[in-house]
A and B are shown apart, each in its own frame.
Chain A
Amino acid sequence: MSTRRIFARPARFAAIAPYVWMVLFFLVPFAFVLKISLSQTAIAQPPYEPVFDLTAGWNAIRTAFGALSVDNFRLLVSDDLYIFAYVRSVTVAVTATAILLLIGYPIAYGMARLPKRWQAVAMVLVIVPFWTSFLIRIYAWINILQHDGLLNKVLLALHLVSAPVVWLSTDTAMYLGIVYSYLPFMILPLYATLAKMEPALEEAASDLGAPPWQVFWLVTFPLSLPGVGAGVLLCFIPIVGEFVIPDLLAGSNALMIGQTLWLEFFTNKDWPVASAAAIVLLVVLLVPLLLYERLQRRQLEQR
């Protein structure tokens, strides 16, 4: 009866669909990872213990529960390696997001001020890189940045440098790769907010005596803050956990948390520590999300 009613009412099904999705693909896997993070490594298959065996009976499960511990989390906070990885991840994400905002805002602003038919063209130009695989585009950067790559050839030909510059395996290369890859995610939400802003608002500000820079700071920018927030989150969160770009373009002396995770999982085969690191990463990422949500709710309440 109840299932039939759910399917008889598409609206109700649509309303619960996101929750089903969250439970199946977020909460359940999260519970697995959380459980593994509280386990210990073992030379076994799977490579950790205790293992819950529902067929072994009540007492066995209780013993298994008793064997869980927070040792892995203690290790994470006591070992410099992990703390440095978190700090570096957040530093890289903050710096890259700031650069993205500084580059993305003027582009989005310019797009929103184009004549309508050119806006569609600009939109396609922003999205078109997605038509090539992300990995191929990063490999292309390796090609451009390597010792005898395009960039060095151009610089040498223009006599701007006398010897090839080392670009690869530097932070510069990593930031270049990150900014290049994430720019559309910054531009699109900013463009969406700026394009729907009523042009009369800027005209009103200038009519009331505001020179162009004041029009921007007092009207345009404050009204584009929802777009800024969305763009910053869309870039900041994946960059904190970024693995491919730092692995391919940056040096190996300072690792980001994504790389550390990879090492623990696949090289050290230490699933419990890797899981614990993943849980902490999630918590680190939840903080800006919650802040953003609170900010939005406060804005709603003010209305």
Chain B
Amino acid sequence: MEGAAGAVNAATGQPLLRIDGVVKNFGAFRAVDGVSLDIKAGEFFALLGPSGCGKTTLLRMLAGFEAPDSGRILLADKDIAQALPHERPINMMFQNYALFPHLSVYDNIAFGLRRAGMARADIATRVAEMVALVKLEGLEKRKPDQLSGGQRQRVALARSLARRPQVLLLDEPLAALDKKLRESTQGELMELQRWLGMTFVIVTHDQEEAMTMADRIGVMNAGKLVQVAPPRELYEAPRSRWIAEFVGDINLFEGEFKLRDGHRLVIATGGAGTLVAAEPREPIAGAKLSVAIRPEKVKLSRRAPVGEGSALNQLDGVIADICYLGGATTYKVKLDTGGMVQSSVTNSARLDVDAYSLNQQVVAWFTPDDCLVLDQ
């Protein structure tokens, strides 16, 4: 397999796919509201958002099933916004696979190649290549309803890759698989994408899936693209309270800005008393703020930690709830100041000498750098 076209474009640094101010209305409902986004060649890009946020509509506009009401979609500098699906060098893997039930595995994979007018012998070679790629050897003559869910998923993938599209769109490609299969397939998809050097755009509502696979994630809410960032930045530096709550678990304390101490802000919160947090990169207007801390950044100890400096946030409380998850345990701590804080502790030892018990007095602590200051 060659992925030469993608690699060349990546070298020039030009975006392969440019979405520019795209708007789509369904009657009075604005499904996609002025989305602009550049996707680089060879990138694995994920569109993440709750159901109804417009991510699927955006994907369908890339495939050509919907035409944007305004805005441009440029593929390699050519506007394809109004081009019909069969005229685009873009293929899609459908959510429920949409395999043709009356055609065999072979004919399903060959469907796109025949439409392209490829010679019979070349089709046979390409189909064999695809079948080997997704490890379906020996099943070429089967009909889709004679296959397992995982096999159907592979046929759908092979069929959408067969034409070697410049961009492959994947609409919730793993949603129908069970957990174990989904995890192994995630790995295979990433490997495949890297090896082919193809540009993948995946739509998912599963944030772990997006985090695991994508180079960059675009989070959508109510038709708008609210943040585009690599997985780590999205998790550690979400741009709004909504994103912070949507991606992963988080402790949130609403409060008021009190004073600035160098690069630190002192914020009086309702539930957790006075907290010290690192100044956010972009200043937030107004005095009403939220302080957010990821549960795994909140440490627990039996008594106050020593030698960590006075700026440390220390909160006294008692263990109110314990949730054992295997690899980690989540404790809910009822704070003396009235709030509740969640702490996720890695179970790094097999024996439970370090475990806390219900109603035990603890100190929950975290550094100012681990605090996020967000809008309210």
Contact = CB atoms under 8 A, between A and B. Distances in A.
Interface in A235-289: none
A227 B21 CA distance: 44
B94 A204 contact: yes
Contacts of A223: 101-102
Looking at chain A's contact residues, the main secondary structure is: helix
Interface residues of B, number: 27
B98 A204 contact: yes
A201 B63 CA distance: 14
Nearest to B91: A207
Given A302-B143, A303-B143, A303-B146, A207 B96 contact: no
B100 A201 contact: yes
Nearest to A219: B100
Interface string A189-212: 000000000101101111111110
Contacts of A210: 86, 111, 115
A206 B66 CA distance: 13
A99 to B, nearest CB: 27
A198 B102 CA distance: 13
Contact of A208 (B65, B84, B91, B96): B91
A211 B86 contact: yes
B145 interface: yes
A200 B94 contact: yes
A46 interface: no
B216 to A, nearest CB: 24
Contacts of B84: 206, 211
Contact of A200 (B64, B98, B112, B159): B98
B170 to A, nearest CB: 12
Given A200-B96, A222-B102, A208 B163 contact: yes
Interface size class of A (residues with CB under 8 A): 10 to 19
Contacts of A204: 92, 94, 98-100
Contact of A205 (B95, B100, B146): B100
Nearest to A215: B86
Contacts of B349: none
Question: Quick one: which of A201, A208, A218 has the most chain B CB within 10 A?
Answer: A208
Contacts, number: 63
B116 interface: yes
Nearest to B107: A218
Given A203-B85, A303-B145, A209 B112 contact: yes
B140 to A, nearest CB: 15
A207 B111 CA distance: 11
Interface string B71-97: 000000000000011100011101110
A214 interface: yes
Contact of A209 (B86, B100, B102): B86
A205 B84 CA distance: 12
A223 B143 CA distance: 14
Nearest to B171: A200
Contacts of A208: 86, 91, 111-112, 115, 159-160, 163
A206 B86 contact: yes
Contacts of B65: 203, 207
A214 B86 CA distance: 11
A218 B103 CA distance: 10
A207 B92 contact: yes
Contacts of A218: 111
A219 B116 CA distance: 17
Contacts of B92: 203-204, 207
Contacts of A203: 63, 65, 85, 92, 94, 98
Question: Quick one: which of A206, A207, A219 has the most chain B CB within 10 A?
Answer: A207
A296 to B, nearest CB: 14
Contacts of A211: 84, 86
B58 to A, nearest CB: 16
Nearest to B162: A208
Nearest to B117: A209
Contacts of B116: 209
Interface in B147-173: 159-160, 163
Contacts of B145: 303
Nearest to B109: A208
A214 B102 contact: no
Contacts of A222: 102
A210 B108 CA distance: 13
Contacts of B102: 222-223
Given A214-B115, A222-B102, A303-B146, A206 B85 contact: yes
Nearest to B96: A200
A209 B163 contact: yes
Interface string B109-123: 001100110000000
B342 to A, nearest CB: 41
A92 to B, nearest CB: 32
Nearest to A203: B65
Contacts of A209: 86, 112, 115-116, 163
Nearest to A204: B98
Question: Quick one: which of B63, B84, B85, B94 has the most chain A CB within 10 A?
Answer: B85
Interface of B: 63-65, 84-86, 90-92, 94-96, 98-102, 111-112, 115-116, 143, 145-146, 159-160, 163
Given A205-B111, A208-B163, A211-B84, 8 more contacts: A203-B94, A204-B98, A206-B64, A209-B112, A209-B116, A209-B163, A210-B86, A211-B86
24 contacts: A200-B95, A201-B100, A203-B98, A204-B94, A205-B111, A206-B84, A206-B85, A207-B65, A207-B90, A207-B92, A207-B160, A208-B91, A208-B111, A208-B115, A209-B112, A209-B116, A209-B163, A210-B115, A211-B86, A218-B111, A219-B100, A222-B102, A302-B143, A303-B146
